[in-house]
A and B are shown apart, each in its own frame.
Chain A
Amino acid sequence: MPLADLLPLHQQDFQALAATWLRLGADSVCLLENGQVIAAYPLKQSQDGQKLVARDAATGLELHLYGVNNHQWQSNAEMQVKLFGRMLTSENEMEALTASLVETQDRLVALYDLTRATRRAIEVDDLLALLTVESSRLLDASGAFAVVYLPGQAPIVRQHHSQKALPEAHLLAAATLYRRDPNRRTFKDGGTLPVGMRNVIMSSLPVRDQVFACLGVFNKSGDFTAPDGKLLKAITDQAGAKLDNALLYQEAIQRARIDAEMNLARQVQTALLPQTLPKLDGIDIHAVSIPALEVGGDFFDVAAMPNRPLVFLLGDVTGKGLPAALLMSMTHTVAHSAVRYMPFVAPHQVLDRLNKDMLDDYSAVGMFTTAFVGTLDLPSRKLMYSNAGQSPILYASPTHQPQLLEAADIPVGVFDGYTYTSHSIQLSLGDVLVAMTDGFNESRNEAGEMFGIERLKDELQKLQRGSAREIADGLLAAISTFAGNHPQDDDRTLVVLKITSEKGITAMQTNLTISAQYEQLRLPAAALRELGTRAGAPEEIIGLCELALQELLTNLVDHAYGKGLAGQIHINIRVEPAHIQIKTEDSGQPAQINLDSVSMPDPGALMEGGYGMAIIKNLMDDVSYRRENDLNTWVLTRRW
């Protein structure tokens, strides 16, 4: 502040000084600052004549005493001008100090308000809005902006501008200038600043590593000063912690959202897997899938459909998380329909189909899936399988130690047009097949040691006499005991199949019609044998029924129609899980027979007939005859 501005406050002091000199004979007295008159007394100034000049070098003040030529006053005048200067300088400093104190006070109050406001802003957007509004106000500039760079995401940019908002790219350009040269905090328009920005001052917010955030205030009339810089730093210093919290809060919300989505994905996946397993005579099946913490890529399926082999499959899509889960869902869907609707299902064909349908999807993301597909022909117990890199698959029989069925083929989703191969094993009573994903053998204990395939074989040998469920539970328990507190890293999925009777029975039936002639009688017997064998009925029972059927039909040809009479016999043969039922219908003569009184003739009597019905009664558990609407119906049943 020029000293002249302070002079009015000291007019009287100056007049008193001037009056003293006038009394001592001066014509007039003038005070000058840097050569300019700032005070004169009396106002009418003598322009000529002798004058005595006293000068204070520190302040540039000069005292001109007109009409004084006595040099003995020189030192007095100099002392007076020096005193005057010092007084005014002190005054000036006091003024400046007061102004600065007031300003500081204002800013502290504003900063306090800002701090209080930011405490309530827990969301990043709210916080940045508050920071830009308040910092531009506090620094008396027309705008402010904030940029937050988060790893792997587009930067967050917010601005407050009293005029038209600047394009985001301009703000990012300014932030980039500062990022490149963080020590230089103020930039002025010199071709470097983006259009619309005259000057800018920036400061970074202290946030955790990997995140860079800065606050810039721009377009102040005049220039940003050092105190502006200090104030902005004070704002950013305290806002940094707030921003960190807000970012953490935002991440927590995002993570919670992702967790919820993951849970949903897991539910969808779980729902895809079979909820119930088919119950088949003589074959015990059990399957379990225990997902790791994240959604994963394991899947399995078991399909039992009439007149088709039992199909089961198990697979493991590489990787974890949503990508694996998505591919797993698609793969499972393709496999699910393939095993059910392919005209003839062979394991290698299921894999060929999966590879063909899914190759593009797998290639696109550089992933693939291992898979095992097995079909079990129920009557013959013949297992066919094809293994696309799936391990471990263990096969155990009562007479042989568990062995590993090697993965002969490459995973699905690797090579276009790869052809898979099927292998076969004849299974028999007590045989066990366990198809697992690598979540079993690769389970680790607290020491980091892997469970391995040898331990799995040992465990299976101990468990193989149990049911399929007991085997599955036993293996899972063994893994869990081994792992101890080591968390489950990967999904664990297994399908256990055990042969519990020599031949399995599925309900099957056949119908045929013959004409009542001897030469046609072999057809029903052959049909019975074929059906019974296919359905897995005991050989002994098939033989008994064959004979009974033969005897019944011979009787019908002989008696119902009489020799030479034309007619038809309808035959229905059903093989159920524990019995065979033979039903015939004919429109011949009613049978004149009392079944209760039928008994086997004495062989010694050497009778040449009359054995047929006795044989039938002897071989069958139930024999019934009914005459209705001119129709004879015979039903023979044999259980086992």
Chain B
Amino acid sequence: MPLQIQTIEHMIRIMVITLDGRLDAFEAPALRQKCDKFLADGLIHFVFDLTEVTMLDSAGLAAMVSVLKRARLKNGDVRLIWPRAEAASRILKLTRFDQVFISIEASQVIPQGF
């Protein structure tokens, strides 16, 4: 019996958004705007690379929560690469969003083994 070949191509689109600088009330609208566009295009998997974010406030956090909320509604998710700066991570712990967002290492953006 000849070999039966069945192929399934898993096309998972992951949008990695790398931020560098302050993510605060002033900058958050621009991020929202960009993410709204991605979501409209059907993207549901996001990685926010916060490594170089120097400061994160509740407006910045709200922008990310907004993306998370809409992504999850479509069975997607938002993961975070943890910020180095205390001024950025402080609010995540304070609001306990560190327990809501799944945080990953930069190396885990591509699934293990690839």
Q: A residues within 8 Å of B by Cβ?
A: 518-519, 521-522, 525, 540, 543-544, 546-547, 550-551, 554, 557-558, 600-601, 603-604, 606-609, 611-612, 614-615, 618-619
Contacts and interface: CB of A to CB of B under 8 A. Distances in A.
B59 A554 contact: yes
A518 B26 contact: yes
9 contacts: A522-B22, A525-B55, A547-B55, A551-B58, A554-B24, A600-B95, A603-B96, A604-B100, A609-B58
A608 B24 CA distance: 14
Contact of A554 (B57, B95, B97): B57
> Interface SS of chain A: helix, strand, loop or mixed?
helix
Given A615-B91, A619-B94, 9 more contacts: A518-B24, A525-B55, A550-B25, A603-B95, A606-B100, A608-B62, A611-B58, A611-B61, A614-B95
A615 B94 contact: yes
Interface in B25-42: 25-26
Interface of B: 22, 24-26, 55, 57-59, 61-62, 65-66, 68-69, 72, 86-87, 90-91, 94-97, 99-100
Contacts of A540: 86
Given A519-B26, A611-B95, A615-B91, A554 B58 contact: yes
B90 to A, nearest CB: 6
Contact of A547 (B65, B72, B87, B100): B87
B87 A521 contact: no
A431 B91 CA distance: 37
Contacts of B99: 603
Contacts of A519: 26
Contacts of A607: 65
B65 A608 contact: yes
Contacts of A615: 58, 91, 94-95
A603 B62 CA distance: 11
A546 B24 CA distance: 12
B26 A522 contact: yes
Given A554-B25, A554-B57, A611-B61, A618 B94 contact: yes
Contacts of A551: 57-58
A37 B65 CA distance: 165
Contacts of B59: 554
A615 B99 CA distance: 17
B41 to A, nearest CB: 21
Interface centre among B24, B72, B100 (most CB of A within 10 A): B24
Nearest to A546: B87
Nearest to B63: A608
Contacts of B58: 551, 554, 609, 611-612, 615
A606 B91 contact: no
